[in-house]
Structure 1
């Protein structure tokens, strides 16, 4: 079974042998016995790679979970000690979390687990869940969406969107609208917007909300990172919709003012997603629990029932 798992991971008997510290002939022999026992070809050659059959792909995840379960069963019983633990934990998320999570996580790791390294990597555009596999990430922090069978998830926090502008925005000042007030709908649609979009789309949930009331805004620029959105707004007359927590954190630092949106928008729920194969890993469980604790602090009071 370990040979089958290694070939599924590596796509090669040579690399599977190196992974298991076995010769290629020993791996090939084990594969021949598996084919006979399971009555399936298991792999077919495609160029330099061994491509799994439909049957082999169907058992890949259950096989890995079973091997992990057996490994955990046979491992010596011990209590996880974060102070002595070593490892790397990779998080895939938008740069919102570079501001709202990573500084707090850096302080926590320095005090409690100085030999655990943390990485924040980008999301895969158009398919955030795929970031877990593509980047070999341990945890994805993403907007709520359907979760595949191989993953587990937990809700973290809700966040409303607010309008940000540079200080003393001329059109809002002329209209007598003060920070904290609702931007009039006509002005909201008239002023150019900057949109956060890793995919480069010119519409998002704000546009869907406007369409429901028969209005449109002018999206003049898209950026793949929130930091760029905020900086573009701070140095122009464009405006943007961004998460409230981010606006409150960095707005005063770069000269932004915050207003309320004229269009109703349900606050999105942000969730944590991880591969089920990592669920019982002591390091993963400890890091997962610490990150969830840090993020649930952000939850808005009016939407606390998140399980």
Structure 2
């Protein structure tokens, strides 16, 4: 490729093709006609000496060479935009925009009310959206611009992801006040392991898995529990426990916040369960983006007090 004569505007077309998967939709994204996008794609193919995309039905499928550009191209374009744009001070009071947070409904309870109050007072034109944290897809959602930030338990991450540790979340056992299975137990006590294993459980699992961290912890002491149902949202777990003789493991911060609302009693688990480290993750291309940086900082400040809740 002759870089001296290469038209950098073609990279914007390539990025749009990656995002949209068709020349028509890429043109709509860029404000160009379909024929103009096709012409640019032809020029790209000649310049890069690769077909870049092959047609598969109504979709364009990237070649191996093009696939290698998919993850780095948006970041490089963002760097070019930052390089060529004059720095501007971010004013939250006048800024407009939308910030998407991928998280479980744990954050609907623990974050969104306080974030809503903060935005109302300091950034009334900014909009926050809590979107579903889809298992196995939240990292890709950052790449696709479907989310600006994901709040997740700590895990291995690709190199193009930035991360910030936020708080440790231990687990506790919850049961409804009046559940005959907890007769004689005082809130805050360690639930006997026989009681824990004999009572039936509600399990939080967006995927519908029948085992989780609690089962791994029980297995280490040679015991098992009875999972009666799985629920994809924490609010559903709380409602199920509050309306039945089922019990559940919940993050302690959530249990303390909702115990009065659902008529729950909170106990310590009978076996050691390692607490989950909750982290915030985002695409490195957004490291220096003014609005995203401001929103992340505010969200992290709001979540910091959750560390140490027991």
Give the TM-score category using the shorter length: over 0.9
Output the CA distance in 1 between the equivalents of 2:230 and 2:33: 52
How far residue 76 of structure 1 moved from its aligned partner, in angstroms, is: 3.1
Q: C-alpha separation between the residues in 2 aligned to 1:234 and 1:219?
A: 16
1:249 aligns with 2:294: no
| Cα drift, residue 36 of structure 1 | 1.7
Whether 2:245 is the aligned partner of 1:237: answer yes
Report if the CA contact (8 A) 1:83-1:115 is conserved: yes
C-alpha displacement at 1:196, in angstroms?
Answer: 0.7
**Matched positions, count:** 300
5 Å-filtered alignment, 1:188-203, equals: 188-203=196-211
Check whether the contact 2:188–2:266 (CA below 8 A) recurs between aligned residues. Answer: yes
Query: Please, what TM-score do these two structures have when normalized by structure 2?
Result: 0.92
Find 2:154's aligned residue among 144, 147, 168: 144
Native 8 Å contact 1:126 1:199 kept in 2: no
Q: Whole-Å Cα distance in 2 between the matches of residues 27 and 135 of structure 1?
A: 22
Q: Is 1:277 matched up with 2:289?
A: no
Q: Which moved more, 1:257-266 or 1:229-238?
A: 229-238
SS at match of 1:71: helix
- 2:127 corresponds in structure 1 to 117
In the alignment, structure 1 residue 180 sits paired with structure 2 residue 184: no
Q: So what's the TM-score if we normalise by structure 1? A: 0.93
Provide the rounded CA distance (Å) in 2 between the counterparts of 1:199 and 1:14.
Answer: 35
CA RMSD of aligned residues (A): 1.7
CA deviations on 1:144-166 (whole Å, 9 max, x unpaired) are 11112332211111011001111
Task: Structure 2: give runs of 5+ residues left out of the alignment.
Answer: 1-10
Which of 127, 143, 156 is the matching residue for 2:166?
156
In 2 relative to 1, CA 92–230 (structure 1 residues): closer, same or farther, beyond 3 Å? same
| Distance of aligned partners of 1:101 and 1:301 in 2 relative to their CA distance in 1, 3 Å threshold | closer
Deviation at 1:290, TM superposition (A): 0.8
- Structure 1: which 5+ residue stretches go unaligned? 303-307
Instruction: Give the 3-state SS of the residue equivalent to 1:297 in structure 2.
Output: helix
Asked if 1:45 corresponds to 2:66, the answer is no
